[in-house]
Amino acid sequence: MTQDTILSVRGLCTDFSGGRGDVRVLDELSFDVGRGRIVGLVGESGSGKSMTALSLMGLVPQPQGRVSARSILLDGKDLSKLGPAGMREIRGRDIAMVFQEPMTSLNPVRKVWEQVGEPLAIHQGLGRRAIRARVLEMFELVGIPEPKTRLDAYPHQLSGGLRQRAMIAMGLICEPKLLIADEPTTALDVTTQAQILRLMRDLRDRVGTSIIMITHDLGIIAEMCDEVNVMYAGQIVEQADVFELFERPAHPYTRGLLASIPRATEPRVSRRMPSIPGMVPNLAKLPEGCRFGPRCGEAMPICQRAPELKPLGPTHASRCWLNCPQEALSQGDAP
């Protein structure tokens, strides 16, 4: 891990035990987040992107869920070695999270400033007056209009956009090393979304916040991220610099996703859109070999064996046999 890496995840696995045995929902995730960078996790429902956030935050439900990793280094400190008490100190202070639904993640019967300032009370032991003053500063930072009068508002008195700004203020109030934003704009209208995305980009530029951006929307990835991890069925299938990913997508799943998003900026050519056949596999009944194999138009006999995430260049890696021709050749059509 270099000086410029704020988070370095290696071999993150999350398993759930249930009635029908164990299910591995995250399989060997390894990725880095550079200081002041915005790193995307993109995938469809069930790909494991939100579970990644919960695993990093130590919020996976116990005892059904078990998180393990070779290491999760946050600014040099290995979170995978911390117990629940250690993680409580980290959460809200060193890593903060912004959730999708700003209404359900705020307590409806407490004033907004008390909630936004709560991390300060917990981690820095500040008194009410100091907290109120700091919350006011944060409201100004995140562009809440008439911030003074909003301090004493209750959540229902704020619009969805303002609630999400308040959530971001709460996330940033202890100046965390890393902010995890899980679909932060999915519940918002497109014009409000544009405002919140611009705010997050500004905060990164002004305050230097490092951000993990979790989304299903490749448009948001393209607008916001420096690097991207594409997830499918609990694995990272492609990892790349954002320009590289959109200009030279290597994995057939990424290519399929990019082809199937409707575009508002291009005239219609045909009403029939390219689509990926089939659906995401059930994690309890994964296909043999490559998890995308059964839906892949380019599947080969070797895809019966699980491919690994292999580098294609300094800023690009893909989990596909197509991207490692020499191995595919030397090992032939075996099994």
Partner 1 sequence: MTTDTGSEIVLSTRALTKHFHVGGGFAGRPSRVVRAVDGVTLEIRARETFALVGESGCGKTTLGRVMLRLQEPTSGEIVYDGTELTGLGEGEMRALRKKMQIVFQDPYASLNPRMRIEQILAEPLRSHGYGTPAEIRERCAELLELVGLRTQYLRNYPHQFSGGQRQRIGIARALANKPDFVVCDESVSALDVSIQAQVLNLLADLQDQLKLTYFFITHDLAVVRQFADRVGVMFLGRLVEVGTTEEIFARPLHPYTMLLMAAVPRPDPRARGGERPMMQGEIPSPMALPPGCRFHTRCPFARDICRVEDPALQNHAGHTVACHFPLEN
Of 139 and 302, the one with the shorter C-beta distance to partner 1 is: 139
Nearest to 6 by CA among 149, 209, 169: 209
Q: Which stretch binds partner 1 (CB under 8 A): 15-23, 97-105, 273-281, 315-323?
A: 273-281
Using CB under 8 A as the criterion, what x/- string covers residues 18-57 for binding partner 1? Answer: --------------------------xx------------
Residue placing its CB nearer to partner 1 in the complex, 121 or 222: 222
Residues in Cβ contact with 308 at an 8 Å cutoff, skipping those fewer than 6 apart: 319
- Nearer to partner 1 by Cβ, of 129 and 272: the residue is 272
Maximum C-alpha span of the chain: 70
Non-local CB neighbours of 335 within 8 Å, separated by 6+ positions: 301, 304, 305
118-122's contacts with Cβ under 8 Å and 24+ in sequence apart are 118/170, 119/92, 119/93, 119/170, 119/173, 119/174, 120/173, 120/174, 122/92
- Quick check: bond before 249 cis, omega within 30? no
Q: Exposed/middle/buried for 144, CB within 10 Å: 0-12, 13-18, 19+?
A: buried
Binding-site member from 222, 299, 306, 322 for partner 1 (CB under 8 A): 222
Q: Helices 190-207 and 160-172 sit at what angle, rounded to 10 degrees?
A: 20
Q: Which of residues 156-185 bind partner 1 (CB under 8 A)?
A: 159, 161-162
Strands 178-182 and 77-78: unpaired
101: contact with partner 1 by CB under 8 A: no
Instruction: Verify binding: residue 146, partner 1, rule CB under 8 A.
Output: no
Nearer to partner 1, 107 or 260 (CB): 260
What is the dihedral sign for C-alpha 248, 43, 173, 116? positive
Of residues 8 and 50, the one with the C-beta less far from partner 1: 50
Measured CA angle at 99 (ends 219, 158), to 5 deg: 100
Q: Which of 133, 273, 284, 300 binds partner 1 (CB under 8 A)?
A: 273
Q: CB 241 → partner 1: shortest distance, Å?
A: 9
Residue 247: closest CA among 320, 326, 315 = 315
**Nearest distance in Å: CB 332, partner 1:** 31
Binding mask 185-214 for partner 1 (x = CB under 8 A): ----xxxxxxx-xx--x-------------
Query: How many Cβ atoms from other residues are within 10 Å of residue 262's Cβ?
Result: 7
Binding of partner 1 by 104 (CB under 8 A): no
Stretch that binds partner 1, among 28-36, 48-56, 121-129, 241-249 (CB under 8 A): 241-249
Total site size for partner 1, rule CB under 8 A: 49
Binding footprint of partner 1 on the chain (CB under 8 A)? 44-45, 145, 159, 161-162, 189-195, 197-198, 201, 216-223, 242-243, 246, 256-258, 260-268, 270-277, 279-280
